[in-house]
Structure 1
Amino acid sequence: MDKIKNQTRPVFPFTAIVGQEEMKLALILNVIDPKIGGVMIMGDRGTGKSTTIRAIADLLPKIEVVTDDIFNSHVSDYDLMSDLVKQRIEDDLKISTQFIKVPMVDLPLGATEDRLCGTIDIEKALSEGVKTFEPGLLAKANRGILYVDEVNLLDDHLVDILLDSAASGWNTVEREGISIRHPARFVLVGSGNPEEGELRPQLLDRFGMHAEIRTVKDPSLRVQIVEQRSSFDRDPYSCIEEFKNKQNELKNCIILAQQQLSNVVIDYDLKVKISQICGMLNVDGLRGDIVTNRAAKAFAAYQNKDEVSIEDIRRVITLCLRHRLRKDPLETIDSGTKVDQVVNEILV
């Protein structure tokens, strides 16, 4: 118990969150395979979006980083390593490492481009010939989670930068002919309330998955949520202790899934069915096909399987496609229901 109390701010346990299965599954799958491309969580106010996102970051196993490196560089994976660390390896210099909690970075709504991307000290570069880089939030988020609350209210230009970095895994800062590039591989999580406006379709399409959450209507479930939260607020450490075993169980499950992921295969016929569904739904581009294939593999790995089944695809496909459908103002049917109808037609 004392060990737990050494934590800074206690975080609500992920396994203690009641309901909101769609959001929890989308987050778990993105953590298993960050290449899915992040998740957009849209829903009512007060439905635990921020709590759930902080809880998944807290649940994850610690990562090994190069000591004193501002980019959380990996010690052996070149794609997750800064140029400085690569240089040190080439020069045969000794590199020490340490284990840190998975970075969880919040992007405030009023953030500037410099705050997000980082800045180069031009004066120092010109007078001393030294490239001095002040890291931004993208550098801090490398190998972690970058969370944007109210992403639909964020400046479109910043959303573009975010999505470009999330897709490429790199951030480049250029000023006065001086350029610095660093790894920025993170799980991008955006949340918002649809009442405050939607994201532009071309930006929405860049998020791998889209989870919709609604306020729980069932009175007994509502009571359970309120009691759970009250119990945590009263004594967070007892609540953390109570869910310790479940947390460890889920953590181990995620680690195994990450290891299993590269072994998972998906049958050619199933790939054809996924593309058939995307075609029938008039999904623009091929991003929907790619993300659905990735998410289905991650879900299979999560269940410790080495082959994707039709059921795995059923579980993830709505999350991957509902935000990619063309909006028809005269359409009365919900986009998720539309996906389900086509899925039931093809996946038999």
Structure 2
Amino acid sequence: MNKKTNERPVFPFVSVIGQEEMKLSLILNVIDPKIGGVMLMGERGTGKSTVVRALVDLLPPIEVIENDPYNSDPYDTETMSDEALLKLNNNEKPNIIKIKTPMIDLPLGATEDRVCGTIDIEKAISEGVKAFEPGLLAQANRGILYVDEVNLLDDHLVDVLLDSAASGWNTVEREGISICHPAKFILIGSGNPEEGELRPQLLDRFGMHAQIKTVKEPKLRVKIVQQRELFEKDPQNFKKICQNEQEALMKKITNARKNIKNITISYDLLEKISQVCSELEVDGLRGDLVTSRAAKALVAFEERNEVTAKDIYTIITLCLRHRLRKDPLESVDSGYKVQETFKKVFNL
């Protein structure tokens, strides 16, 4: 039997109607993972999980060292696991295989041991070896880690995830024994605002923040329902219909990943980005950095070479809205505030 028919069918990304904010923020993070992940906030049943799972089908397969629990890159010694590096130093030639980009779902009740991995202290003492059982962070290396209902997760666990996502490494320490392994992944969190927001200091560490609203237009709602029914009736045929469009988008993303290092942004625009952040009283420099990175990723995606003010306008709300200080008495939407400040600074 063909392996593909055994896999759970995934709704094609190109067939998702509406939700442009969510789709754009996910694509930009795939092009440049240094943007720092996405927080998707929206009501129940708005397709957050569907879109995130569809995203993985747009990513090319990755080359890994066979039987390596960390999906180690066979060509990058900087991010290899200790075991892979040791074999390489002993002139052992690794077997290289291609696998689908990993997509790991973090269950809501996951413990820190399940996420980070555990060290078997007894085995370490009795046999003198570092007995480590890798966790979800190891499995997510070089892929995507998706946390649904991230706002219901323990703050300490969110902190661990954000630390690993930012540094690209996970360190586990027990009884004086320390293990470090690569954990480079795109962190995507989703949540329902009715169940509470994340603490501001945790929210600030997500690169982008997309607000997902229920589609109000009746004709669009009918179209979404019809598409879903067609997909559920015959997933393979539905995917065939979208195949050309899906492949074209995959190619665009792959090219953008290669070309992002050639994108330029003028000093004048960088200064204006910083001025917007300053006027909005955004703490720290994350807002400035993420905005310039996201603008470059957008330009790479659109197959151009230089960032314009229009590019910055397209992404600046996604990069800054969650970094503004909350005033409980203020009724103005934070996204509107970012746009108005942008227009004032850029004289638009």
TM-score w.r.t. the length of structure 1 is 0.98
What is the Cα deviation at residue 48 of structure 1?
0.2
Runs of 4+ with >6 A deviation:
none
Q: What is the 5 A alignment of 1:44-63?
A: 44-63=43-62
One-letter amino acid of the counterpart of residue 306, structure 2: E
Q: Deviations over 1:75-119 (max 9, x none)?
A: 112343111111222221111111111101011111100000000
| Residues 16 and 243 in structure 1, CA contact (< 8 A), matched pair in contact too | yes
| Residues 103 and 140 in structure 1, CA contact (< 8 A), matched pair in contact too | yes
- Unaligned 5+ runs, structure 2: none
What is the Cα deviation at residue 4 of structure 1?
7.7
Task: Report the equivalent of 1:186.
Answer: 185
Q: Deviations over 1:306-332 (max 9, x none)?
A: 211111111111000000000001111
The CA distance in 1 between the partners of 2:228 and 2:97, in whole Å, is: 34
The CA distance in 2 between the partners of 1:234 and 1:6, in whole Å, is: 15
Q: Deviations over 1:270-316 (max 9, x none)?
A: 00000000001000110000100110111111111221111111111
| Residues 292 and 320 in structure 1, CA contact (< 8 A), matched pair in contact too | yes
| Residues 159 and 203 in structure 1, CA contact (< 8 A), matched pair in contact too | yes
Task: Report the equivalent of 1:65.
Answer: 64
The CA distance in 1 between the partners of 2:124 and 2:44, in whole Å, is: 47
| Residues 115 and 137 in structure 1, CA contact (< 8 A), matched pair in contact too | yes
The CA distance in 1 between the partners of 2:79 and 2:155, in whole Å, is: 27
Give the secondary structure class of the aligned counterpart of 1:40. strand
The CA distance in 1 between the partners of 2:298 and 2:116, in whole Å, is: 33
What is the Cα deviation at residue 344 of structure 1?
1.2
What is the Cα deviation at residue 59 of structure 1?
2.0
What is the Cα deviation at residue 11 of structure 1?
0.4
Task: Report the equivalent of 2:226.
Answer: 227
| Residues 63 and 102 in structure 1, CA contact (< 8 A), matched pair in contact too | yes
Give the secondary structure class of the aligned counterpart of 1:11. coil
Bigger mean CA offset, 32-41 vs 77-86: 77-86
Task: Report the equivalent of 1:173.
Answer: 172
Task: Report the equivalent of 1:209.
Answer: 208
Task: Report the equivalent of 1:277.
Answer: 276
Give the secondary structure class of the aligned counterpart of 1:111. coil
The CA distance in 2 between the partners of 1:7 and 1:66, in whole Å, is: 24
One-letter amino acid of the counterpart of residue 326, structure 1: R
Task: Report the equivalent of 1:129.
Answer: 128
- Asked if 1:261 corresponds to 2:263, the answer is no
The CA distance in 2 between the partners of 1:271 and 1:84, in whole Å, is: 42
Q: What is the 5 A alignment of 1:132-147?
A: 132-147=131-146
Give the secondary structure class of the aligned counterpart of 1:345. helix
Task: Report the equivalent of 2:26.
Answer: 27
Q: What is the 5 A alignment of 1:306-317?
A: 306-317=305-316
| Residues 291 and 320 in structure 1, CA contact (< 8 A), matched pair in contact too | yes
The CA distance in 1 between the partners of 2:212 and 2:93, in whole Å, is: 49
- Unaligned 5+ runs, structure 1: none
One-letter amino acid of the counterpart of residue 79, structure 2: L
One-letter amino acid of the counterpart of residue 116, structure 2: C
Bigger mean CA offset, 122-131 vs 72-81: 72-81
The CA distance in 2 between the partners of 1:46 and 1:63, in whole Å, is: 32
Task: Report the equivalent of 1:112.
Answer: 111
How large is the Cα RMSD of the aligned pairs? 1.1
The CA distance in 1 between the partners of 2:2 and 2:32, in whole Å, is: 31
Alpha-carbon spacing, 1:155–1:213, altered in 2? closer, same or farther (3 Å): same
Identity of counterpart residues, as a percentage? 65
Q: What is the 5 A alignment of 1:314-329?
A: 314-329=313-328
Give the secondary structure class of the aligned counterpart of 1:243. helix
| Residues 65 and 97 in structure 1, CA contact (< 8 A), matched pair in contact too | yes
| Residues 4 and 237 in structure 1, CA contact (< 8 A), matched pair in contact too | no
| Residues 5 and 237 in structure 1, CA contact (< 8 A), matched pair in contact too | no
The CA distance in 2 between the partners of 1:232 and 1:162, in whole Å, is: 34
One-letter amino acid of the counterpart of residue 85, structure 1: A
The CA distance in 2 between the partners of 1:214 and 1:242, in whole Å, is: 27
What is the Cα deviation at residue 122 of structure 1?
1.0
The CA distance in 2 between the partners of 1:271 and 1:108, in whole Å, is: 39
The CA distance in 2 between the partners of 1:13 and 1:149, in whole Å, is: 20
- Asked if 1:14 corresponds to 2:24, the answer is no
The CA distance in 1 between the partners of 2:89 and 2:2, in whole Å, is: 39
TM-score w.r.t. the length of structure 2 is 0.98
What is the Cα deviation at residue 6 of structure 1?
3.1
Q: Deviations over 1:227-285 (max 9, x none)?
A: 01000011111111111111100000000000001111111000000000000100011
Task: Report the equivalent of 2:329.
Answer: 330
What is the Cα deviation at residue 7 of structure 1?
4.5
Q: Deviations over 1:136-159 (max 9, x none)?
A: 000000000000000000000100
The CA distance in 2 between the partners of 1:28 and 1:170, in whole Å, is: 23
